[in-house]
């Protein structure tokens, strides 16, 4: 799994990665900690950013938030 992830990152271009995010699954944590030593430009962020991403996804699905974002978008992008 680590090899596949590194292959994908290398093929895409490791220089474009600023960070790697994952959930707290033990396998993913091990893979990213191995990669962290090899690619110093890509920060490893485990769990907290992933959790915030999931929370933000849930928040924007709330009808009132969705409506407010729609209004803001119509003001900014007339």
At residue 53, the pLDDT reads 87
Q: Residue ranges per domain, the chain?
A: 1-46, 48-78
Distance CA 21, CA 8 (A): 15
Among residues 36, 56, 57, the alpha carbon closest in space to that of 46 is found at 36
41 by DSSP, 3-state: which?
Answer: coil
- pTM across the whole model: 0.41
Q: What is the pLDDT of residues 25-74, one digit of tens each?
A: 777 777 777 776 776 666 766 677 778 888 999 999 999 999 999 999 99
Distance CA 28, CA 45 (A): 11
46 vs 6, higher pLDDT: 6
Q: Are 20 and 43 in contact (CB under 8 A)?
A: yes
Distance CA 74, CA 78 (A): 5
């Amino acid at each position: 799994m680590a090899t596949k992830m590194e292959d994908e990152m290398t093929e895409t271009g490791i220089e474009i990665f600023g960070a790697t995010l994952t959930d707290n699954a033990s396998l993913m944590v091990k893979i990213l900690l191995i990669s962290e030593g090899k690619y110093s430009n890509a920060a490893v962020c485990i769990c907290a950013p992933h959790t915030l991403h999931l929370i933000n996804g849930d928040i924007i699905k709330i009808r009132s938030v969705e409506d407010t974002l729609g209004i803001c978008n119509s003001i900014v992008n007339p």
